[in-house]
Homo-oligomer: A and B are copies of this chain.
Amino acid sequence: MVDLYASHFGINNIPYGIASSASRPIPQAATRIHDSVIFLAELSTTPPFTSIPTPLPLPTLFLRPTLNAFAALPKPLQSQIRTAIQEAYTSNLHAPSSAAIQNVTLHLPIAIGDFTDYSASANHVLNAGEAIQGVRSYPPAFHAYPVGYAGRCSSIAVSPTPVRRPLGQYIEDYTAPEKKIIFGASRALDYELEVGAVIGTPVEPGTLLHAKDADQHIFGLVLVNDWSARDIQGLEMNPLGPFNGKNFRTSISPWIITLDALELSKVPAPQRIKSVSVFMDDPEAPNYSIKLTVEITRKSATTKTCEVGFETMYWTFRHMLAHHTIGGCGLRTGDLVASGTVSGDKDHEHGCLLELTKNGKVPSKLSDGSELRYLQDGDELRYTGVVADGVGFGDCVGVVQEAAKW
């Protein structure tokens, strides 16, 4: 049985995750090549791994339950290890350290000390504003810097952890004369298609990072589903931003794709509409060309609701990291910095239902014939991300569970 995403994990990918299996019950570092998950603590006990000068022996480092210590290694060492893995695979030395992907459980790959969510897509900002307020306009700071907020770390889970529809308080009916606030299960559960950067080498507090130096601090990228309850969020946003509307669950894909694997997908970011401050002035700040898709499966019928390129984002991760640190805020290894919803300017490029269905007012049609306004219990969300031939993210999946009873 070939896994659906074997083609994402060619020899030029070498992603990192945390895996366990029946015979390896302790979650530990692994990579994936095609259908094989290779347990790196075992692979790295022999040359050439043993001659790579790491602060801790690689088998010790790879036995840890998160990738943080590995992610913090200097980039050149990481690249050397990547090459050694590729060579070991090519020489067929990996077999004793491997298990079939079907026999493996994947875990949250990193310990996340802080989670930041940016709003880096111009299209999303315009579309979301139109859906909510009927106006296509930018927030005041949008072209000056990427606008972001802090998210909840404890609710971040690895795909395919389900998402339970949250309870909360919201306006019962915005069209009614009285804006009555009620308590109940969210009626407007949404997804947000995002990509996140995982911090590798930390940025010490007080270090002012220039955008052009920021790649040195990115270990790799993951797919992110920033599940959102639009009704709960809508009431709480003014004035402090999203909170309970977002903090019930964030899903990430299990494999972290390194910048080494993404190197060939670098493309120029969109032209700056306004000039940026000196610390973000980096005309070469690249986007990554990643073909992202969203599929909803309802009652066994699957419908693709979005296909969009990550290269459409106005702000790049370089800009985001520079902005994040300019006030003196440090970044720690394992921190997650997400892009915000990825949306293009076309009808099939909406990265969330708030945009696609105009906040539930204009239903879309699913292939089972039902109406899509917001998510229903039982709906399965599936993101995929393809970078190039043999390089992809696999998927990021979650099923909607019914709300708890109070």
Provide the residues of chain B in CB contact with A5, threshold 8 Å.
none
Contact B205 A327 (CB under 8 A): no
Provide the residues of chain B in CB contact with A155, threshold 8 Å.
205, 328-330
A131 at the interface (CB under 8 A from B): no
A-side interface mostly: loop
Rounded to whole Å, the gap between the CB of A364 and the closest CB of chain B is 25
Cβ contacts A276-293/B at 8 Å (1 or 0 each): 011100000000000000
A242 at the interface (CB under 8 A from B): yes
Cβ contacts A310-344/B at 8 Å (1 or 0 each): 00000000000001101111111001000000000
Provide the residues of chain B in CB contact with A277, threshold 8 Å.
169, 183
A74 at the interface (CB under 8 A from B): no
A48 at the interface (CB under 8 A from B): no
Contact B147 A150 (CB under 8 A): no
Rounded to whole Å, the gap between the CB of A191 and the closest CB of chain B is 16
Provide the residues of chain B in CB contact with A139, threshold 8 Å.
238-239
Name A155's closest neighbour in chain B (CB-CB).
B329
Contact A168 B240 (CB under 8 A): no
Contact A240 B329 (CB under 8 A): no
Contact A328 B149 (CB under 8 A): no
Provide the residues of chain B in CB contact with A378, threshold 8 Å.
none
Give the segment of A16-24, A39-47, A214-222, A228-236 that binds chain B. A228-236
Q: Which of B150, B167, B235, B243 lies in contact with A243, CB distance below 8 A?
A: B150
Rounded to whole Å, the gap between the CB of A135 and the closest CB of chain B is 12
A141 at the interface (CB under 8 A from B): yes
A237 at the interface (CB under 8 A from B): yes
Rounded to whole Å, the gap between the CB of A323 and the closest CB of chain B is 7
State which residues 89-143 of A face B: CB under 8 Å.
Answer: 113-114, 116, 119, 139-141
Contact A247 B140 (CB under 8 A): no
Contact A141 B243 (CB under 8 A): no
Contact A327 B229 (CB under 8 A): yes
Rounded to whole Å, the gap between the CB of A190 and the closest CB of chain B is 14
Q: Given the complex of chains A and B, what is the CA–CA distance between A330 and B151 in angstroms?
A: 13
Q: Given the complex of chains A and B, what is the CA–CA distance between A116 and B149 in angstroms?
A: 12
Provide the residues of chain B in CB contact with A323, threshold 8 Å.
244
Rounded to whole Å, the gap between the CB of A403 and the closest CB of chain B is 9
Contact B154 A406 (CB under 8 A): no
Contact B327 A153 (CB under 8 A): no
Known: A329-B248, A330-B154. A167 touches B241 (CB 8 A): no
Contact A208 B404 (CB under 8 A): yes
Q: Which of B247, B249, B278 lies in contact with A150, CB distance below 8 A?
A: B247
Name A145's closest neighbour in chain B (CB-CB).
B169
Contact A148 B243 (CB under 8 A): yes
29 chain-A/chain-B pairs, Cβ below 8 angstroms = A113-B153, A113-B154, A141-B169, A141-B235, A147-B240, A149-B149, A149-B150, A150-B151, A152-B329, A154-B205, A154-B329, A154-B331, A155-B328, A155-B329, A166-B327, A167-B208, A167-B326, A167-B328, A169-B277, A183-B277, A206-B404, A239-B241, A241-B241, A244-B324, A244-B326, A247-B327, A248-B328, A248-B329, A279-B406
Closest 6 CB pairs of A and B: A241-B241, A166-B327, A149-B240, A150-B150, A183-B277, A248-B328
- List residues of chain A with CB under 8 Å of any chain B CB: 113-114, 116, 119, 139-141, 144-145, 147-155, 164, 166-169, 179, 181, 183, 205-206, 208, 229, 232, 235-245, 247-249, 277-279, 323-324, 326-332, 335, 404, 406
